[in-house]
Every structure is written in C-alpha cells, then in structure tokens.
C-alpha cells in the first residue's frame, strides 16, 4: 500500500488509563479492520503527534491529569476538531449534556455494548471524512478564486448577480468584447462549464467567508 493511501486510512485513537480496556478496544476495532492506536492519557496522546488522517477518538471521561471532558472541550474550539466518542463507567445527565453540547458524537457507559460503540465510531469517522472532503473542496475553490485578477473578480460578481455582458460593460466602463474576454477567463480559471455553475461557485465563495465575494 502506498504512503499516500495509508494517510487516508481511518484510525481510532483510544485514550483510557485502564490497560485492559485499551487492549480490549484495540482488539474490537482491529477485528473490523480499523487502524487503532492506544494511549493511557491525554498527555501521551498529545506527545505522540498522531498523523492527520480521518479518525475518531474514543475517550474515557475520567482520566488522570486533564479529564476527557476538558480535553474534548479544548478540541471543540479548533476549526478541524476531531470527532470524539466518550465512554465512562459513570455517566450522569449533566455530564452527558455537557459532552454533547461540546460536540461529542456519543456518550456511552462502560461496559460498552460492542455494536453501539462500533456504530458510534463508524458514524464519527464518516462525519470526519465528509468534513475533510468539504474542507478540501472549499480550499480548492478559494485557491482557484485567488488566481483571478481584480477585474475578473469584479466581472464574476456581476455575472453571478445576473447581469448581461452589455450591462457589465456599462458598469465597469469596458467594451462588451473585453467583458466577454474576462468572462471567458473567469469560467476557465474557476472550472465552471455554465453560468449556472458559476453562480453556485459564487454562492459557495460567499459561504466560505474571508471576503471572497461581496
């Protein structure tokens, strides 16, 4: 298997201070062909600098040092937060609500039912893969938009607003032929095959933020 393919293999990171739990979960996840790495604490996990591949963190709520809940809330503040399934021998309502508000995929009580855990982990990995794909698509769109000249960006915004070449020419004080030239360049650089597609890309740019389009 190539290194690039290996980078895309989903991985489950298990963080639990109980060695028997770590090994039991490793066996469970590897039985369904999920790469698995185990850690005894949040500090061990952070020190290892795990690879940036699609993943899910299975995290014990009650850990020595930084608790699972505190770590989850810290990760939730990051733009590319990794999905987390929390497990604990004792889960009260307040704890579960706090975890779900911070974005936990699920909160499960030990001893965890294997099927429930596998379903939660698979759901988390699927969500992570989708979010990563969306981030790549958004970055690609922003990169293509960055190749446009200021005039091309202006023309793109006017085309997306539904204006005809003649109207755009009057607005930006160019000849209609020049507008057509800029418009063709915009379509090519943005990878749009129709005006309708260009309008969709413009909407996506607005959603992406960063002042891409007015």
pLDDT by residue for the chain (214 residues), tens only, comes to 444 445 568 999 999 999 999 999 999 999 999 999 999 999 999 898 667 789 999 999 988 888 888 888 888 887 667 899 999 888 778 888 888 888 899 999 988 999 999 999 999 999 999 988 988 899 999 999 999 999 999 999 999 999 999 999 999 999 999 999 999 999 999 999 999 999 999 999 988 764 556 5
pLDDT at residue 93 in the model: 84
Q: For residue 213, tell me if it sits in a domain.
A: no
| 164 and 81, same domain (yes or no) | no
| 40 and 128, same domain (yes or no) | yes
pLDDT at residue 8 in the model: 66
Total domain count for the chain?
2
| 176 and 80, same domain (yes or no) | no
Tokens in use for 179?
């507008």
Spatial distance between the Cα atoms of 181 and 146, rounded to a whole number of angstroms: 18
Residues 174-202: pLDDT tens digits? 999 999 999 999 999 999 999 999 999 99
Helical H runs in the chain?
3-7, 19-31, 42-48, 68-76, 93-101, 114-146, 150-160, 165-172, 176-190, 195-208
pLDDT at residue 116 in the model: 96
Spatial distance between the Cα atoms of 60 and 40, rounded to a whole number of angstroms: 10
| 63 and 159, same domain (yes or no) | no
pLDDT at residue 97 in the model: 86
| 129 and 152, same domain (yes or no) | no
CATH assignment at residue 96? 3.40.50.2300
CATH assignment at residue 153? 1.10.10.10
pLDDT at residue 156 in the model: 95
| 172 and 77, same domain (yes or no) | no
Tokens in use for 142?
């922003």
pLDDT at residue 209 in the model: 66
| 95 and 49, same domain (yes or no) | yes
Q: For residue 204, tell me if it sits in a domain.
A: yes
Spatial distance between the Cα atoms of 189 and 148, rounded to a whole number of angstroms: 7
Spatial distance between the Cα atoms of 39 and 45, rounded to a whole number of angstroms: 6
Residue in this structure with the two tokens 């909160």, named with its chain if needed = 107
| 16 and 103, same domain (yes or no) | yes
| 106 and 194, same domain (yes or no) | no
Q: For residue 163, tell me if it sits in a domain.
A: yes
| 31 and 126, same domain (yes or no) | yes
pLDDT at residue 153 in the model: 95
Q: For residue 82, tell me if it sits in a domain.
A: yes
| 126 and 179, same domain (yes or no) | no
Residue 111, domain extent: 3-134
Domain end among 82, 112, 134: 134
Q: What is the 8-class DSSP label of residue 33?
A: T
pTM for the model stands at 0.75
pLDDT at residue 15 in the model: 95
Tokens in use for 9?
């293999």
How many residues belong to the chain? 214
pLDDT at residue 207 in the model: 81
| 24 and 88, same domain (yes or no) | yes
- Name the burial class of residue 128, with classes exposed (0-12), middle (13-18) and buried (19+) by CB atoms within 10 angstroms of its CB: buried
């Amino acid at each position: 298997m190539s290194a690039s393919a290996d980078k895309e293999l989903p991985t489950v990171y298990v963080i639990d201070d109980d060695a028997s739990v770590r090994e039991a979960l490793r066996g469970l996840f590897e039985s369904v062909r999920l790469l698995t790495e185990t850690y005894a604490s949040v500090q061990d996990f952070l020190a290892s600098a795990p690879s940036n591949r699609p993943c899910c963190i299975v995290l014990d709520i009650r850990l020595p040092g930084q608790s699972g809940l505190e770590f989850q809330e810290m990760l939730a503040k990051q733009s590319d937060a990794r999905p987390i399934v929390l497990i604990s021998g004792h889960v009260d309502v307040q704890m579960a609500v706090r975890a779900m508000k911070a974005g936990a995929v699920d909160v499960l009580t030990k001893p965890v039912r294997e099927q429930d855990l596998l379903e939660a982990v698979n759901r988390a990995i699927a969500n992570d893969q989708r979010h990563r794909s969306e981030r790549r698509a958004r970055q690609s769109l922003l990169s293509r938009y960055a190749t446009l000249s200021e005039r091309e960006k202006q023309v793109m915004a006017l085309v997306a607003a539904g204006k005809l070449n003649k109207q755009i020419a009057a607005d930006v004080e160019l000849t209609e032929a020049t507008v057509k030239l800029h418009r063709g360049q915009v379509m090519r650089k943005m990878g749009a095959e129709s005006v309708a597609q260009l309008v969709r890309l413009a909407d996506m740019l607005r959603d992406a933020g960063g002042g891409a389009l007015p």
